[in-house]
Structure 1
């Protein structure tokens, strides 16, 4: 079965010429639950494995899903304390592909991308992996921007304002219907912007689906999916981790339910572990939690739009539904209310 979005013959020839030890014929398989850049497992006749990334299919919003930029970020992080795959090649040759392709090393480990995977772990393993998340986030926020050459990756203007402007525009371009609470949340977030004094590397989409883990050792062996990486407020990443971390008592449904199982730390414990690792003042993290939920609803709406426009973008488990997106918006409204944001 041919992998959608790839000219397998041309891509195989390109990989074979990279000197990574690949022996043709190569086999390509779409993997992961990612709904943005498409990810494929590549295997060769000798059992070698690699990972290939490309943008989604169809018409894309400007600056979205830039795998060339992602290639730059991952290349710059080689040799730092941030665990990332090794970058092996990139091509934009139109005789090979209709969109940029990035080849990287395969990292052996467990991606806890759903309840069934998490259920195979012991409670101690779940807790260890959970607490490794904020510690890994601390390593991302500790990257020396000048030393890695990432100091010009993005604007250094106030991050909240940049995020609100960008994602409000994305909402207008990709929404499939009107959702008044999305606009109301944007107004609330504008009115309550906290003081921002620090600029660090920000992953932009840090959650369990985007890390490869070693549950036995309780560590993160690779952080992946860097397409939303930027420079900005480190607490934005922590807020996003909380947004993707439902607890058993929350009224939620959807693909990010693994953290509701026994053993995983709760959101307060994640924050405490981050403070222990960084010493940062996290008093404004609630604001960033709400902003992340608002942003998540817009990202999900964009995925829904891409699937409606081109069903080939649909991941194995399907994709976000209107009900799921409305549920995320409702969580954002509830969280804002609980924090007294108005």
Structure 2
């Protein structure tokens, strides 16, 4: 579920015959090199060195270099791919459409739908410098003023995204906004059913309660689907260099993005959790300020934000349960997956409480 992250600059590639050279899971550098030759707009200068970017919980993201140039490669997870959840073509399409706009996204370079190259479709985009801040501890060294400015810039960038005219950028058919919220609830219910492997008290009650109190949606917009500070790269000047991780993007209710951002602005109170928030960092704006700034910038009515925030808790509970399920099948890559399952009941409880108090 997390974003592609900036990685330390990789060292020079090993010689082709180096006995300790190894590829990360899911990416064969020799097959990738053979495909990139003649496919990228510039030459590939030598053997490729690839490294998995840690932090992502869903699609796999790698930095790839030939010793001179550097790129980012995205592909689906290694197993248990739920229908429509990891569509590389959709993700590439929205980045390509937004790149000419004011929304900061990496330049898309190449889409490969041929699964025979890496075992799944993938795409290549430019490497953008910057830092993804995943926890309050990582954000704290910026200090209160810079932290506040960075989070408010996150809200302003969301307003910018939601102001894009979908038809003007070729995304008029990118989704079906009519009945969006009802369809989202049914979709995530199906996603949950596809990952059920244990009892989850309260999650069905939360799903039902959300269905009983659907708000009316504002005019549709291009939405990100997983919008938070973790999924953007901040430059040294604290500007947002790129918004990443577009796998859940579509055309729909823009307040779902705001609800998710508000959810991630609530401290979980779980030290050492593999899924963190930046909410506890000094200077981090409170949820109410984020909502007010978005409302002022977008002109949208945010009075039903409690529903959207509760829906965000539900959606994340489903996502985390899917990751936990893949972990039990041995189909995940990275650290911290053994504790993901313990978070699901916490997210369910937050969702129920938010909806009740809203």
TM-score by length of 1: 0.93
Corresponding position: 1:284 with 2:311? no
Match of 1:190 in 2: 211
2:61 to 23, 39, 46: 39
Corresponding position: 1:24 with 2:46? yes
Match of 2:19 in 1: none
State the shift of 1:319 in Å. 5.6
Match of 1:156 in 2: 177
Correspondence list, 1:78-89, <5 A: 78-89=99-110
Cα gap change, 1:111 to 1:36, in 2 (>3 Å)? same
Match of 1:134 in 2: 155
Contact 2:140 2:147 in 1 (8 A): no
Cα gap change, 1:333 to 1:71, in 2 (>3 Å)? same
Cα gap change, 1:113 to 1:15, in 2 (>3 Å)? farther
Provide the alpha-carbon RMSD of the alignment: 1.6
Contact 1:301 1:325 in 2 (8 A): yes
Secondary structure of 1:103 counterpart: strand
Correspondence list, 1:1-342, <5 A: 1-17=22-38, 18-46=40-68, 48-214=69-235, 216-247=236-267, 251-252=269-270, 254=273, 255-311=275-331, 313-318=332-337, 320-339=339-358
Q: Deviations over 1:8-42 (max 9, x none)?
A: 10102222431334321111000031111100011
Contact 1:160 1:193 in 2 (8 A): yes
Contact 1:300 1:320 in 2 (8 A): no
Contact 1:16 1:24 in 2 (8 A): no
Q: Deviations over 1:294-339 (max 9, x none)?
A: 111001101111122234x233443652321111111111212221
Contact 2:320 2:341 in 1 (8 A): no
Contact 1:303 1:320 in 2 (8 A): no
Secondary structure of 1:96 counterpart: helix
C-alpha separation in 2, matches of 1:306 and 1:318: 9
C-alpha separation in 1, matches of 2:283 and 2:218: 35
State the shift of 1:49 in Å. 1.5
C-alpha separation in 1, matches of 2:218 and 2:99: 27
C-alpha separation in 2, matches of 1:288 and 1:184: 16
- Matched pairs, number: 334
Q: Deviations over 1:122-166 (max 9, x none)?
A: 221111111111111111111111111111011122221011100
Contact 1:200 1:234 in 2 (8 A): yes
